[in-house]
Amino acid sequence: MIKDITFGQYFPGDSIIHRLDPRMKLILIIAYIVLLFVADGLFSLLIGAAMAVVFYALSKLPWKLVIKCIKPIMPIIIFTAVLNVFFVEGDPIFEWKFISVSGKGVLTAVLMCIRIICLIAGSSLLTYTTTPIALTDGLERLLKPLQKIKVPVHELSMMMTIALRFIPTLIDETQKIMAAQKARGADMESGNIIQRAKALIPILIPLFVSAFRRADELALAMECRCYHGGEGRTRMKQLKLTAKDFGAALFVAGGFAAIIFMNMFGPEVFRL
Amino acid sequence: MAEKIIKTEGLSYIYSAGTPYEHRAIDNVNIEIEKGSFVGLIGHTGSGKSTLIQHLNGLLKPSEGKIFIGGEDLWANPKDIRRFRFKVGLVFQYPEHQLFEETVRKDIAFGPKNMGLSEEEIEARVIEAAKLTGLTEDYLEKSPFELSGGEKRRVAIAGVLAMRPEVLILDEPTAGLDPKGREFILSEIKNYHDRTGATVILVSHSMEDVARFASHVLIMNHSKVAMYGETREVFKRVEELCEIGLEVPQISRVFAKLRENGANVPESVLTVAEAKEAVLKLLKKGGEEND
């Protein structure tokens, strides 16, 4: 049950997408999100969707992962779609009593759905194919210029790395504590909201205690290895941009160009 | 024949089925454990011991196979599973990490309270469990977080004993304790077993401890049951055990070597006390022959 919460968990593999430089992946995913919002018609958005399909195919991930990442946001998608269908004003194509549906509304709803799905699928692809450590590493390098204005980039990314590192540990710990309390007859599945909230106490208190204990131990271990912040720290794994990174950049740039072209010169139908 | 308190049929469990992390933690386990026996469960890390014991009180639902506790199918009615949790008490590894209440008394009372017992009954059980684990009255009002490691563990074990389980399962209850603490915990488990006639399953890495206390030994290897039988019988199979990479108690090893070299000693010697008897007997016999 708890395992399902880790939305966009790393899925090991050795595809070209897995091996891309995390910095490039981060930049490209941002570019991709911008691109999805630049696309203003069905055809240009379909180019965006096709790009997502190509990326997933290249990553060799099982397709059911796409469904897995979209499932939790299904309510949002449906909600947005319903809202758009009924509340966007335009020439009505269907009217019954106070309900009216416009062609523009349906189109907006469809575009919104595609956009959200691509958005989630795209950003999930990033976390599916990049280890959290590589991700924060890439982020740290990308944010490095901010150090000039005294943003503690290294410290922030170290905090993030540690936080990410401890998510599975704490999930593990939670499960152990849950099992131990269940073994003593704790009932977490029944009762009203207040009873359920109360049932969490036997889990949360030991969890906090152990989180603090771990933090203490980790701080001590880091101190023992002479950790003193980011200054003068070198890296074991140097990030290097290679041909495949530039290839990926080129591909996204191509997609961008195609969408802008489609926006400007594409067919006038199915446009907002 | 004695009543079988625990019985499993073709029990298997697969972790993370359908992902690259898929792993068969236990595979086709068929065991029958007699009521009132003291079972030592031995196996390497990752051999499936912990997974197996979590099935016995219904914390994990088997992927395949069935479990019977006292003749009842554990999963016949999933809603009724809590009943078995009180029947089969499970003490996890490092159980002191699960303490949460303000006072030791309240923490020990957590299990009995979940059973829906009356106030008086709960109080009686808390006192009883505290006594069994050697916690005096003045401990009961302390916060569990101010106790030492060994004391915390005693409180945690008392929390399970207070449910008066018919089957008591302990996952390495002595891990990380000093010799005195180990001795104490082990003797209190033995005590509970003798006094209540409960069935005990003790997961341990110490062959000496198992040899001393267990009537039966269950050996797990690569997710399967490698051996199950009376302690003496199992520890006779020195070579098979070595093949698995497990050891027999030191003293048994010494006596196996003695037999190999032609000394007339019994086939299975488990404890130092037994060894002493055997050696004395041998010396006496030798003396008579020399006369």
pLDDT digits (tens, 9 = 90+) for B259-288: 888 888 887 788 888 888 888 888 887 666
Query: Which of the 8 DSSP states describes residue A99?
Result: E
- Taking only the tens place, the pLDDT of each residue in B192-229 is 999 999 999 999 988 888 988 999 999 999 999 999 99
Name which residue leads in pLDDT, B236 or A46. A46
pLDDT of A8: 45
pLDDT of A7: 40
Dist CA B54 CA B59 (whole Å): 5
Mutation target vs B (from A2, A184, A189, A217; most B CBs, 10 A cutoff): A184
Look at residues A74, A72, A70, A85 and name the one whose alpha carbon lies nearest to residue A119: A70
- Residue B170 clears pLDDT 90, i.e. is over it: yes
Query: B141 lies in a domain?
Result: no
Dist CA B170 CA B50 (whole Å): 10
Closest residue of B to A173, CA-based?
B97
pLDDT of A199: 86
**pTM score, two decimals?**
0.73
Residue pairs between chains A and B whose CB atoms are closer than 8 Å: 57
Query: Does B54 sit within 8 Å of A185, measured CB to CB?
Result: no
Query: B105 lies in a domain?
Result: no
Closest CA–CA distance from residue B97 to any residue of chain A (Å): 6
> Per-residue pLDDT averaged across B44-53, rounded?
90
- Taking only the tens place, the pLDDT of each residue in B65-88 is 999 998 889 888 888 888 899 999
Domain range holding B282?
249-291
- Residue A117 clears pLDDT 50, i.e. is over it: yes
**Does the CB of A134 have a partner CB in chain B at under 8 Å?**
no
- Residue A133 clears pLDDT 90, i.e. is over it: no
Query: Does A187 sit within 8 Å of B59, measured CB to CB?
Result: no
Query: B168 lies in a domain?
Result: no
Closest residue of A to B89, CA-based?
A183
pLDDT of A255: 92
Query: B51 lies in a domain?
Result: no
Closest CA–CA distance from residue B82 to any residue of chain A (Å): 6
- The rounded radius of gyration (Å) of the Cα atoms in chain B is 21
pLDDT of B289: 56
At A92, list the tokens: 């009505």
Domain range holding A61?
2-265
- Number of structural domains (chain B) is 1
Considering only CB atoms, which chain B residues are within 8 Å of A185? 82, 85-86, 110-111, 114-115, 163
Query: A272 lies in a domain?
Result: no
- Residue B122 clears pLDDT 90, i.e. is over it: yes
Q: Are B201 and B191 in contact (CB under 8 A)?
A: no
- Number of structural domains (chain A) is 1
* pLDDT interval class at A166 (50, 70, 90): confident
Query: B271 lies in a domain?
Result: yes
Query: A270 lies in a domain?
Result: no
Query: A271 lies in a domain?
Result: no
At B142, list the tokens: 């302390």
Query: B279 lies in a domain?
Result: yes
pLDDT of B65: 92
Q: What does the angle CA A219 – CA A221 – CA A225 come to, to the nearest 5 degrees?
A: 115
- Residue A2 clears pLDDT 50, i.e. is over it: no
Closest residue of A to B82, CA-based?
A185
For residue B63, count other CB atoms closer than 10 A to its CB. 15
Q: Which run of H or of E encompasses A142?
A: helix A132-143
ipTM: 0.84
pLDDT of B77: 86
Query: A105 lies in a domain?
Result: yes
> Per-residue pLDDT averaged across A180-208, rounded?
87
Among B59, B82, B92, whose Cβ lies nearest the Cβ of A187?
Answer: B82
